[in-house]
């Protein structure tokens, strides 16, 4: 009887873990439409000001698309959390010497965001000088 209960509980626990992981892996794409009013970089690639789509299909991957929905670049991200959940989508940019690099992407009403790594050429400068962050106005995002 004891073995039967242990096997049943173990089986139940494994089922919950398997279904929980597969549900997380199958989450819907999250898309932010953004009108970015300045030139910027994502990873080591530079992009002009304009309308873009930021697509998060996986927790650690972000894709930048142009207004025609054509993929421009994909980057790996790290999770970042906040206690103050943004009411609407928000993009944070790291600014250094008049240049901007996408630093964080936040979906609306979600306490977990995606943090991008700085471009390689900026990493040493950022450690020495600190830099600043800039937020794209939430009204520019949908």
Segments making up each domain of the chain, as ranges: 28-140
Tokens matching residue 128? 């020495």
- Compute the distance between CA of residue 142 and CA of residue 137 in angstroms, rounded to an integer: 11
Q: What is the pLDDT along the chain (142 residues), one digit of tens a residue?
A: 555 545 554 555 445 544 544 444 455 788 999 999 999 999 889 999 999 999 997 879 999 999 999 999 999 999 999 888 888 899 999 888 888 999 999 988 888 899 998 766 666 655 544 555 556 644 444 4
pTM of the full predicted structure? 0.69
Tokens matching residue 137? 């106005």
């Amino acid at each position: 009887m004891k073995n039967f209960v242990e096997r049943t509980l173990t089986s139940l626990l494994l089922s919950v873990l398997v279904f929980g992981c597969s549900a997380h892996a199958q989450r819907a794409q999250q898309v932010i439409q953004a009108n970015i009013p300045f030139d910027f970089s994502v990873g080591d690639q530079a992009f002009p000001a304009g309308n873009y789509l930021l697509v998060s299909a996986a927790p650690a991957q972000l894709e930048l698309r142009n207004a025609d929905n054509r993929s421009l670049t994909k980057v790996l991200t790290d999770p970042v959390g906040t206690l103050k959940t943004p009411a609407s989508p928000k993009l944070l940019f790291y600014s250094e010497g008049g240049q901007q690099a996408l630093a964080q992407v936040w979906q609306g009403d979600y306490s977990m965001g995606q943090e991008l790594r700085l471009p390689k050429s900026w990493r040493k400068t950022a450690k020495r000088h600190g830099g600043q962050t800039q937020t794209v106005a939430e009204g520019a995002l949908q």
